Amino acid sequence: MLLYLVPFAAVAIFLVAVVARLVRIYSLPVHLRWELYPVAHEQNAAYGGSFFEHVDWWQQPRAKRHVGELKVMVPEILFLVGVREHNRPLWARTFPFHFGLYLSAGLIALLLLGGVLQAAGVTVAGSAGFPGAAVHWLTVVFAYAGTGLCLIGALALLLRRLSDPVLRTHSAPADLWNLVAFVATGGLALLAFLVCDRDLALLRGFTQRVVTFRLGGEVPTLLAIAIVAASAMVAYVPTTHMAHFFTKWFMYHDVRWNDEVNTVGSKLEKKIQAQLAYKVDWAAPHIQGGGTKTWVDVATEEVAKR
């Protein structure tokens, strides 16, 4: 019974951690522009050009090519093209790791789908008809490829981090632990599949009972341990810097590519005006905010008198 609570707890912690980060990011004020070219939605993103290249740019219509962002973001997330371009040795290790994680996330989705289908009376098995067979075989492929790649990638990353003096020096204990945890989880999951759940039927059954809240039924010990380990990782990842799996979107979209122009009377201008009224308490002699001066006060005071 306790085992059945673990995935719920993991998902709850995952959601809380993700939402907390989202709230934190969204609650931060509008920042000054800090874009970095190429900006993917620009017409001339191919060479890194911007709207500033046009005469009287403020009078020109601005057409952002959002598809340009997708064209950069999707291969970046799926295939880590940036790492491939700038750090091949790392890519050889981190790509299998990340792709393994994506497949593992896909596995969870397939298990959920399989569980729901089974609960609805659809047989999910290799010999069943569509969609049961498709879900079955996809689940098997995602399970072995996902955990296998994750294990190999994490192991390769761990060995590199331990053997490279620079990486080792820059690593906090948690950086090493994270990789050890992934190796252990990937290894346990793979072992559990091979030893006691080759066609993933037990895990799908477990998932079915979880989604239908029929929280009971035996699970082999090894599989149970793997479930606990994987759940722990699901809960743990968004509480660490590995939250970059979703915060990366903000780092690209809200910083690197954020070139929204402030125009008179715009919503953006209103936000800026509100922020210019924030009280400053920087203490240096040339500011002496003291928590009483606003940004406008600081920017407009006569420095010659200081």
For the segment 176-205, give every residue that binds other proteins (CB under 8 A): 177
How near is the Cβ of 264 to other proteins at its closest, in Å?
A: 5
Helices 88-119, 132-163: axis angle to 10 degrees equals 150
Taking the CA atoms of the chain, what radius of gyration do you get in angstroms?
25
For the segment 268-297, give every residue that binds other proteins (CB under 8 A): 268-269, 272-273, 275-276, 278-287, 289, 295
Asked if 69 is part of the footprint of other proteins (rule: CB under 8 A), the reply reads no
For the segment 1-60, give every residue that binds other proteins (CB under 8 A): 24-25, 28-39, 42, 44, 47-58
Burial track 121-140 (b if 16+ CB lie within 10 A, e otherwise): eeebbeeeeeebeebbebbb
**Size of the residue set binding other proteins (CB under 8 A):** 89
Compute the distance between CA of residue 232 and CA of residue 73 in angstroms, rounded to an integer: 28
For the segment 161-180, give every residue that binds other proteins (CB under 8 A): 165-175, 177
Q: Is 303 left (phi over 0), alpha (psi -120 to 50) or beta?
A: alpha
Compute the distance between CA of residue 112 and CA of residue 208 in angstroms, rounded to an integer: 7
How near is the Cβ of 197 to other proteins at its closest, in Å?
A: 32
Burial track 101-112 (b if 16+ CB lie within 10 A, e otherwise): bbbbebbbebbe
Between 196 and 242, name the residue whose CB sits nearer to other proteins.
Answer: 242
Asked if 83 is part of the footprint of other proteins (rule: CB under 8 A), the reply reads yes
Select from 3, 6, 17, 80 the one that contacts other proteins (CB under 8 A). Answer: 80
Asked if 267 is part of the footprint of other proteins (rule: CB under 8 A), the reply reads no
How near is the Cβ of 17 to other proteins at its closest, in Å?
A: 12
